[in-house]
Amino acid sequence: MRLGAFSISLSVSDLARSKAFYESLGFDDLGGDMAMNYLIMKNGDAVIGLFQGMFDNNIITFNPGWDTEAQELDDFDDVRQIQRSLKESGIGLESETDEAGSGPASISLVDPDGNVILIDQHR
């Protein structure tokens, strides 16, 4: 199962302050929009998302169909295929997508320690 590009999505209280902090660690803007209360930042292969007011806790994120530069991949496992595999393995999902659909969709699950995992396909 290929989950796609990995990042950590951080719930932040002050987006501008967090942006400045991560810039001091060598992260550069990769995407997002300050006016929409989120930024995606990158340092080497490390990718973080900074999200103000969008969710309560940090989230482990995977993006099927993208590489670490947010470039589209030709060959990837669709989120619906990943959902089927997880369900066949007996892993419970917090949210599901319509398996008959296509294109952008997401699913989420929680690991044994309560960490939320988002599998978020943008294409």
- The pLDDT tens digits of the residues spanning 68-120 come to 888 899 999 999 999 999 999 999 999 999 999 999 999 999 998 899 999 99
Q: How confident is the model at residue 68, as a pLDDT?
A: 81
Q: What is the mean pLDDT of the chain?
A: 95
Torsion of CA 42, 71, 76, 91, to 10 degrees: 30
> What DSSP state is assigned to residue 73?
P
How many angstroms separate the CA atoms of 48 and 41, rounded? 5
The continuous run of DSSP H or E covering 88 comes out as helix 79-88
Identify the band that residue 46 occupies on the pLDDT scale cut at 50, 70 and 90. Answer: very high
As its CATH architecture, domain 5-121 has Roll (3.10)
